[in-house]
Chains A and B, each alone.
Chain A
Protein backbone atom coordinates (compact mmCIF):
# COMPACT_ATOMS: atom_id res chain seq x y z
CA UNK A 1 0.00 0.00 0.00
CA UNK A 2 1.10 3.59 -0.64
CA UNK A 3 3.03 5.69 1.82
CA UNK A 4 6.24 7.37 2.86
CA UNK A 5 9.03 5.43 4.51
CA UNK A 6 11.99 6.84 6.38
CA UNK A 7 15.05 4.97 7.56
CA UNK A 8 16.60 4.43 9.90
CA UNK A 9 14.24 5.12 12.78
CA UNK A 10 17.22 6.07 15.00
CA UNK A 11 20.60 7.30 13.82
CA UNK A 12 23.73 8.10 15.77
CA UNK A 13 26.35 10.48 14.48
CA UNK A 14 29.90 10.90 15.67
CA UNK A 15 31.62 14.26 15.65
CA UNK A 16 32.82 15.23 12.18
CA UNK A 17 30.82 12.52 10.47
CA UNK A 18 28.35 12.95 7.62
CA UNK A 19 25.18 10.86 7.84
CA UNK A 20 22.40 10.31 5.33
CA UNK A 21 18.70 9.94 6.13
CA UNK A 22 16.57 8.05 3.66
CA UNK A 23 13.09 9.05 2.46
CA UNK A 24 11.13 7.03 -0.08
CA UNK A 25 7.56 7.47 -1.29
CA UNK A 26 5.37 5.38 -3.58
CA UNK A 27 2.52 7.87 -3.78
CA UNK A 28 3.67 9.19 -7.17
CA UNK A 29 4.02 12.64 -5.63
CA UNK A 30 6.13 15.20 -7.45
CA UNK A 31 7.12 17.32 -4.45
CA UNK A 32 9.13 16.20 -1.43
CA UNK A 33 10.27 18.03 1.71
CA UNK A 34 12.54 17.72 4.71
CA UNK A 35 11.65 19.27 8.07
CA UNK A 36 13.46 19.42 11.35
CA UNK A 37 11.61 19.28 14.70
CA UNK A 38 13.19 20.42 17.95
CA UNK A 39 11.56 20.07 21.39
CA UNK A 40 8.97 22.74 22.06
CA UNK A 41 9.08 24.02 18.51
CA UNK A 42 7.14 23.48 15.36
CA UNK A 43 8.62 21.99 12.23
CA UNK A 44 11.09 24.02 10.21
CA UNK A 45 11.77 23.48 6.51
CA UNK A 46 15.28 22.38 5.55
CA UNK A 47 14.99 21.66 1.80
CA UNK A 48 12.27 20.92 -0.69
CA UNK A 49 12.06 19.61 -4.22
CA UNK A 50 9.17 20.12 -6.59
CA UNK A 51 10.54 17.99 -9.40
CA UNK A 52 13.31 15.52 -10.13
CA UNK A 53 16.80 17.04 -10.39
CA UNK A 54 15.66 20.30 -8.79
CA UNK A 55 15.56 21.42 -5.16
CA UNK A 56 15.47 24.64 -3.13
CA UNK A 57 16.74 25.68 0.27
CA UNK A 58 14.27 26.15 3.06
CA UNK A 59 14.68 28.24 6.19
CA UNK A 60 17.49 26.25 7.83
CA UNK A 61 19.49 24.65 4.99
CA UNK A 62 22.97 25.38 6.37
CA UNK A 63 24.84 22.17 7.19
CA UNK A 64 22.51 19.98 5.14
CA UNK A 65 22.49 18.72 1.56
CA UNK A 66 19.98 16.82 -0.58
CA UNK A 67 19.64 15.16 -3.96
CA UNK A 68 16.63 14.27 -6.10
CA UNK A 69 17.74 11.81 -8.74
CA UNK A 70 14.52 9.79 -8.66
CA UNK A 71 10.93 10.88 -8.19
CA UNK A 72 10.38 8.49 -5.29
CA UNK A 73 13.55 9.29 -3.32
CA UNK A 74 14.81 12.40 -1.52
CA UNK A 75 17.75 11.62 0.79
CA UNK A 76 19.03 14.18 3.28
CA UNK A 77 22.69 14.35 4.29
CA UNK A 78 23.56 15.96 7.60
CA UNK A 79 27.11 17.19 7.17
CA UNK A 80 29.77 17.89 9.78
CA UNK A 81 29.06 21.60 9.22
CA UNK A 82 25.75 21.19 11.04
CA UNK A 83 26.85 21.94 14.60
CA UNK A 84 23.64 21.01 16.37
CA UNK A 85 22.12 18.09 14.43
CA UNK A 86 20.30 16.38 17.30
CA UNK A 87 16.63 16.56 16.33
CA UNK A 88 13.72 14.66 14.85
CA UNK A 89 13.68 14.74 11.05
CA UNK A 90 10.48 14.41 9.08
CA UNK A 91 10.11 13.84 5.37
CA UNK A 92 6.92 14.77 3.53
CA UNK A 93 5.55 14.61 0.01
CA UNK A 94 2.69 16.20 -1.90
CA UNK A 95 1.20 16.15 -5.37
CA UNK A 96 1.66 19.29 -7.45
CA UNK A 97 -1.59 19.03 -9.34
CA UNK A 98 -4.45 19.65 -9.41
CA UNK A 99 -4.30 23.02 -7.71
CA UNK A 100 -5.63 22.76 -4.20
CA UNK A 101 -4.49 19.19 -3.76
CA UNK A 102 -0.99 19.97 -2.60
CA UNK A 103 -1.52 18.76 0.94
CA UNK A 104 1.66 17.37 2.45
CA UNK A 105 1.76 13.87 3.91
CA UNK A 106 4.46 12.86 6.33
CA UNK A 107 6.68 9.87 6.94
CA UNK A 108 7.28 8.37 10.42
CA UNK A 109 10.49 10.34 11.02
CA UNK A 110 14.12 9.69 11.97
CA UNK A 111 15.59 10.56 15.34
CA UNK A 112 19.21 11.74 14.99
CA UNK A 113 21.46 11.77 18.03
CA UNK A 114 25.04 12.92 18.32
CA UNK A 115 27.47 10.70 20.25
Chain B
Protein backbone atom coordinates (compact mmCIF):
# COMPACT_ATOMS: atom_id res chain seq x y z
CA UNK B 1 0.00 0.00 0.00
CA UNK B 2 1.13 3.49 -0.75
CA UNK B 3 1.93 5.89 2.07
CA UNK B 4 2.61 9.62 2.15
CA UNK B 5 4.65 11.26 4.90
CA UNK B 6 4.86 14.94 5.75
CA UNK B 7 7.49 15.24 8.47
CA UNK B 8 6.88 18.90 9.32
CA UNK B 9 3.71 19.37 11.40
CA UNK B 10 4.18 23.14 11.35
CA UNK B 11 6.30 25.71 9.49
CA UNK B 12 6.65 29.48 9.69
CA UNK B 13 7.80 31.97 7.08
CA UNK B 14 8.21 35.71 6.97
CA UNK B 15 6.10 37.55 4.42
CA UNK B 16 7.94 37.87 1.06
CA UNK B 17 10.36 35.07 1.99
CA UNK B 18 10.58 31.55 0.56
CA UNK B 19 9.58 28.35 2.34
CA UNK B 20 9.82 24.69 1.39
CA UNK B 21 7.40 22.02 2.62
CA UNK B 22 8.60 18.41 2.56
CA UNK B 23 6.80 15.28 1.40
CA UNK B 24 8.01 11.73 0.91
CA UNK B 25 6.02 8.77 -0.33
CA UNK B 26 6.35 5.06 -0.67
CA UNK B 27 5.20 3.16 -3.74
CA UNK B 28 6.32 0.27 -5.91
CA UNK B 29 4.70 1.73 -9.02
CA UNK B 30 6.52 3.65 -11.71
CA UNK B 31 3.64 5.79 -12.98
CA UNK B 32 1.56 7.93 -10.65
CA UNK B 33 0.49 11.48 -9.85
CA UNK B 34 1.47 13.70 -6.95
CA UNK B 35 -0.47 16.71 -5.70
CA UNK B 36 -0.25 19.55 -3.23
CA UNK B 37 -3.55 20.79 -1.83
CA UNK B 38 -4.06 23.87 0.33
CA UNK B 39 -6.71 24.01 3.07
CA UNK B 40 -7.20 27.55 4.44
CA UNK B 41 -9.22 28.26 7.60
CA UNK B 42 -12.41 28.04 5.51
CA UNK B 43 -11.50 24.32 5.16
CA UNK B 44 -12.09 24.33 1.41
CA UNK B 45 -9.48 22.08 -0.24
CA UNK B 46 -7.79 23.88 -3.12
CA UNK B 47 -5.49 22.26 -5.64
CA UNK B 48 -2.12 24.03 -5.67
CA UNK B 49 -0.04 21.98 -8.08
CA UNK B 50 0.14 18.60 -9.78
CA UNK B 51 3.06 16.48 -10.99
CA UNK B 52 2.99 13.48 -13.30
CA UNK B 53 5.71 10.97 -12.34
CA UNK B 54 6.65 10.30 -15.95
CA UNK B 55 7.57 13.95 -16.46
CA UNK B 56 11.09 14.88 -15.42
CA UNK B 57 10.38 18.59 -15.47
CA UNK B 58 9.24 20.01 -12.16
CA UNK B 59 5.77 21.55 -12.17
CA UNK B 60 5.39 25.29 -11.56
CA UNK B 61 2.32 27.43 -10.90
CA UNK B 62 3.16 31.09 -10.43
CA UNK B 63 4.84 31.36 -6.97
CA UNK B 64 4.50 27.65 -6.31
CA UNK B 65 6.96 25.08 -7.60
CA UNK B 66 7.92 21.53 -6.73
CA UNK B 67 11.16 19.63 -6.45
CA UNK B 68 10.29 16.13 -7.62
CA UNK B 69 13.00 13.55 -6.94
CA UNK B 70 11.59 10.25 -8.23
CA UNK B 71 14.45 8.02 -7.14
CA UNK B 72 14.33 9.45 -3.64
CA UNK B 73 10.50 9.43 -3.63
CA UNK B 74 10.49 13.03 -2.55
CA UNK B 75 8.06 15.78 -3.58
CA UNK B 76 8.66 19.11 -1.87
CA UNK B 77 6.68 22.32 -2.40
CA UNK B 78 8.44 25.67 -2.61
CA UNK B 79 6.46 28.84 -2.05
CA UNK B 80 8.25 31.98 -3.17
CA UNK B 81 7.41 35.55 -2.11
CA UNK B 82 5.12 34.24 0.64
CA UNK B 83 1.92 36.15 1.22
CA UNK B 84 -0.42 36.31 4.20
CA UNK B 85 -3.02 34.47 2.12
CA UNK B 86 -0.69 31.49 1.86
CA UNK B 87 -1.29 30.67 5.51
CA UNK B 88 -3.08 27.32 5.53
CA UNK B 89 -2.71 23.59 6.03
CA UNK B 90 -0.92 22.00 3.10
CA UNK B 91 -1.48 18.37 2.14
CA UNK B 92 0.65 16.23 -0.11
CA UNK B 93 -1.27 13.48 -1.94
CA UNK B 94 -0.51 10.50 -4.16
CA UNK B 95 -2.64 8.82 -6.80
CA UNK B 96 -1.98 5.76 -8.91
CA UNK B 97 -1.86 6.29 -12.65
CA UNK B 98 -4.39 3.55 -13.37
CA UNK B 99 -6.71 1.30 -11.42
CA UNK B 100 -8.77 3.82 -9.54
CA UNK B 101 -8.73 7.44 -8.49
CA UNK B 102 -8.04 7.02 -4.80
CA UNK B 103 -5.95 9.82 -3.30
CA UNK B 104 -3.63 8.94 -0.44
CA UNK B 105 -2.96 11.97 1.77
CA UNK B 106 -0.20 12.90 4.15
CA UNK B 107 -1.06 14.26 7.60
CA UNK B 108 -0.53 17.86 6.53
CA UNK B 109 1.75 20.78 7.38
CA UNK B 110 0.43 23.98 8.95
CA UNK B 111 2.05 27.01 7.34
CA UNK B 112 2.07 30.27 9.29
CA UNK B 113 3.02 33.50 7.53
CA UNK B 114 4.38 36.35 9.66
CA UNK B 115 3.97 39.98 8.66
Contacts and interface: CB of A to CB of B under 8 A. Distances in A.
The judgment on whether A and B are partners is yes
A42 B43 contact: no
Contacts of B95: 102
A51 B101 CA distance: 12
Given A88-B43, A90-B45, A108-B42, A40 B102 contact: no
A96 B42 CA distance: 28
A41 B107 contact: yes
A43 B101 contact: no
Contacts of B93: 42
A108 B4 contact: no
Contact of A102 (B37, B91, B101, B108): B101
A58 B103 CA distance: 10
Interface in B69-115: 91, 93, 95, 100-103, 105-108
B44 A109 contact: yes
Interface of B: 4, 33, 35, 37, 42-47, 50, 52, 91, 93, 95, 100-103, 105-108
Interface of A: 31, 33, 35, 40-45, 48, 50, 56, 58, 88, 90, 92, 94, 96, 100, 102-109
